[in-house]
Chains A and B, each alone.
Chain A
Amino acid sequence: MANVIYSWPSADEAKVLGKRRDRLDGLVKATGAAKYTYDINLDKQLIVKALDCPHAHCRVGSIDTIAAERVAGVVHVHILRPPSTEIQFQGDLIAAVAAETEGAANEGVAKIKVQYEMLDVFVRDDDLEAATDFGRTKKAGGKTELEREPTDDEDEDEFEEKEISRLFKESKYIVEGYYGINAITHCCLEPHGATLEWKGDKLDVHLSTQNVSRTDDGFADALEITADDVDVHCDYVGGGFGSKFAPDYWGIAAAQIAKKTGRPVKWMLDRDQELKIAGNRPSGYVKVRLGADDDGMAIVWDSQQWGSKGITGSGGIENAMPYVYRPKNFRRRATSILTNADVARAWRAPTHPQACAMSQTAYDDLAAMMGVDSYDIFMKNLANISSRQKAEVYVEEMKIGAKLMDWNEKWHPHGKGPTEGSIVEGLGMAIHEWGGVANTSNCLLRIHPDGGVESYCGTQDVGTGTRTVCAMVLAETLGLSEEAITVNIGSSKYPMSGASGGSTTVGAVSESHRRAAQDAIAKIFDLAAPKLGVNSGALEASNGRVGVKGNASKSLSWKEACGLLGINPLEVTANHVRGTKSPLSDVGVGGVQMAHVAVDKETGVVKMKKLVAVQDIGLIINPKMAESQIYGAVIQAIAYALFEQRIMDPKTGAFLNAELADYRLPWLGDIGEIVVHLYEPQSERQRGVIGLGEPPVISGGAAISNAVCNALGVRVPVLPLTPKRVLDALRQAGVT
Chain B
Amino acid sequence: MNNFEYAQPRNLSELLDLLSPESGKTELLGGGTDLVGLMKKMIVTPDRVVNVCDVAELQGIERGGQSGDLLLGAAVRLDELLAEPQLEPFGALKDAIRGTASGQFQAQSTLGGELLRRPRCWYFRDGHGLLAGDGKMIIDGDSRWHAILGNSGPAKFVNASRLAPALIALGAKALLIGPTLEDRRELLLEDLYRTPVHEGERENVLRPHEVLTRVILPTRPDVTSATYEVRHGEGPNEPLAAAAAALQLEGNVVRDAKVALGHVAPTPWVAAEAAREIIGQPISDYVAQAAGRAAVALATPLKDNEYKIQVAKVAVSRAILQAARLPTGGFYA
Contact = CB atoms under 8 A, between A and B. Distances in A.
User: Are A and B physically bound partners?
Assistant: yes
B327 interface: yes
Interface string A625-667: 0000000000000000011000111111010110101101111
Interface of B, secondary structure class, is loop
A724 interface: yes
Given A103-B1, A661-B120, A604 B307 contact: yes
Contacts of B333: 421
Interface in A687-736: 722-724, 727-728, 731, 736
A431 to B, nearest CB: 27
Contact of A670 (B122, B235, B306): B235
A598 B332 CA distance: 13
Chain A interface extent, by class: 35 or more
A320 to B, nearest CB: 29
Contacts of B40: 106
Nearest to A722: B232
A34 interface: no
Contacts of A420: 329
A668 interface: yes
B14 interface: no
A657 B330 contact: no
Contacts of B84: none
Interface string A604-636: 110100000000000000000000000000000
Contacts of A200: none
A667 B230 contact: no
Contact of B142 (A107, A421, A656, A723): A656
A422 interface: yes
A650 B101 contact: no
Contacts of B331: 423, 598, 600, 603, 605, 607
A650 B142 contact: yes
Interface in B116-135: 120, 122-123, 125-127
A550 interface: no
B330 A600 contact: yes
A665 B235 contact: yes
B2 interface: yes
A274 B329 CA distance: 41
B120, B232, B240 interface centre (most CB from chain A within 10 Å): B232
Contacts of B235: 664-667, 669-670
B103 to A, nearest CB: 12
A727 B234 contact: no
Interface string B1-26: 11100000000000000000000000
Nearest to B230: A603
A602 interface: yes
B140 A651 contact: yes
B330 A602 contact: yes
A13 B63 CA distance: 74
Interface residues of B, number: 40
Contact of B240 (A607, A723, A728): A723
Contact of A668 (B42, B234, B237, B310): B234
Contacts of A649: 137, 141-142
Contacts of B211: none
A110 interface: yes
Contacts of A670: 233-235
Q: In the complex, which of the residues A649, A724, A731 has the most CB atoms of chain B within 10 Å of its own CB atom?
A: A724
Contacts of A661: 37, 120, 237
Interface string B229-247: 0111111110010000000
B109 to A, nearest CB: 14
A20 B287 CA distance: 57
B311 A664 contact: no
A605 B237 contact: no
B125 A605 contact: no
A262 to B, nearest CB: 27
B141 A728 contact: no
B329 A422 contact: yes
Contacts of A656: 122-123, 126, 141-142
A603 B330 contact: yes
B314 interface: yes
A509 B2 CA distance: 49
Interface string A482-526: 000000000000000000000000000000000000000000000
Nearest to B305: A724
A421 B329 contact: yes
Given A604-B311, A650-B140, A662-B120, A723 B330 contact: no
A650 to B, nearest CB: 7
Nearest to A651: B140
Nearest to B314: A602
Contacts of B123: 656
Interface in B44-85: none
A662 B122 contact: yes
B100 interface: no
Given A649-B141, A651-B140, A110 B230 contact: no
B54 to A, nearest CB: 24
A421 B289 CA distance: 13
Interface of A: 54, 103, 106-107, 110, 420-423, 598, 600, 602-605, 607, 642-643, 647-652, 654, 656-657, 659, 661-662, 664-670, 722-724, 727-728, 731, 736
13 contacts: A107-B1, A107-B3, A423-B330, A603-B230, A603-B310, A651-B141, A656-B142, A657-B122, A723-B230, A723-B232, A723-B240, A724-B240, A728-B306
Given A107-B2, A422-B330, A603-B314, 4 more contacts: A106-B1, A420-B329, A651-B141, A724-B305
